[in-house]
């Protein structure tokens, strides 16, 4: 299984990728998560990436491509979540894995107002990464993770201006990417519940 998940921020790519990865025992490669770990570790890459991420822009292609290439070398099966995000990234991936190696490309579709609603209320546990939403999936105790009691925080790039920037960036990059993958792209209506989306996505693993 080598799958790519495309879609705007907040469309649930990460949630779905985690579920598919757990069910089929494949690696979930999220460039957003990898970059956030680099930032937390204050590595050279993290320091270079941080300002782009905070403002809601994209980290330069060469940095992201080098980071992913290292990771993919060790894996036979994976779900790519948040990569490729640009045409040069898609071309670099193709060169690395070869023609026909990616067996599914999903495009998660979600209207802008729903992206704003989902990300504006999103909170994440600082310790275990569990995600909440102030309206849709509130924690039992405000500001505390149900699972581990960790502190819930709002990502810098989930502030309103950064969300709008991320939507704009996504829109300018998405068209060329969808064209690049052409007929291979499976469109997913991401406005449905996570269970409904998962039922559809997992059906492609058997098909």
Peptide bond into 84 cis (omega under 30): yes
Query: Is-catalytic flag, 13?
Result: yes
The token pair that represents 15 in the structure block: 């949630």
Among residues 19, 36, 122, 123, which one is catalytic? Answer: 122
Question: Taking a C-beta distance cutoff of 8 angstroms, is the pair 102, 2 a contact?
Answer: yes
Residue with CB nearest ligand AMP?
Answer: 32
For residue 65, give the DSSP letter.
Answer: H
Q: How far apart are the first and last CA of the chain?
A: 12
Q: Which helix (H) or strand (E) holds 49?
A: helix 44-54
User: Across 55-110, where does the E strand assignment appear?
Assistant: 78-81, 104-109
**In whole angstroms, what is the distance from residue 135 CA to residue 138 CA?**
6
Per-residue x/- track, 109-148, ligand AMP (CB under 6 A):
----------------------------------------
Listed ranges 28-36, 40-48, 107-115, 174-182: which one lies at the site for ligand AMP (CB under 6 A):
28-36
Query: Is-catalytic flag, 192?
Result: no
Per-residue x/- track, 61-100, ligand AMP (CB under 6 A):
---x-----------------xx-x---x-----------
Is residue 38 close enough to count as binding ligand AMP by CB under 6 A?
A: no
Nearer to ligand AMP, 160 or 199 (CB): 160
Nearer to ligand AMP, 106 or 140 (CB): 106
User: Which residue's structure tokens are 């979930």?
Assistant: 28
Is residue 31 close enough to count as binding ligand AMP by CB under 6 A?
A: yes
Residue 136, number of CB atoms within 10 A of its CB: 11
- Interface residues with ligand AMP (CB under 6 A) are 9, 31-32, 35, 52-53, 56-59, 64, 82-83, 85, 89, 157, 166
């Amino acid at each position: 299984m080598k799958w790519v998940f495309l879609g705007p921020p907040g469309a649930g790519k990460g949630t779905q990728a985690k579920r598919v990865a757990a069910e089929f025992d494949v690696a979930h490669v999220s460039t957003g998560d990898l970059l956030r770990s680099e930032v937390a570790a204050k590595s050279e890459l993290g320091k270079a990436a941080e300002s782009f991420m905070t403002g809601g822009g994209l980290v330069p292609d060469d940095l992201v491509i080098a980071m992913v290439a290292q990771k993919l070398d060790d894996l036979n099966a994976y779900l790519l979540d948040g990569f490729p995000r640009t045409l040069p990234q898609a071309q670099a991936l193709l060169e690395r894995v070869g023609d026909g190696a990616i067996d599914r490309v999903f495009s998660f579709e979600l209207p802008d107002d729903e992206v704003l609603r989902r990300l504006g209320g999103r909170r994440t546990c600082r310790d275990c990464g569990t995600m909440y939403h102030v309206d849709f999936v509130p924690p039992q105790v405000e500001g505390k993770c149900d699972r581990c009691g960790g502190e819930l925080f709002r990502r810098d790039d989930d502030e309103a201006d950064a969300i709008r920037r991320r939507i704009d960036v996504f829109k300018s990059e998405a068209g060329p990417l969808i064209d690049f993958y052409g007929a291979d792209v499976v469109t997913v209506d991401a406005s449905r519940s996570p269970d409904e989306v998962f039922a559809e996505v997992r059906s492609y693993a058997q098909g």
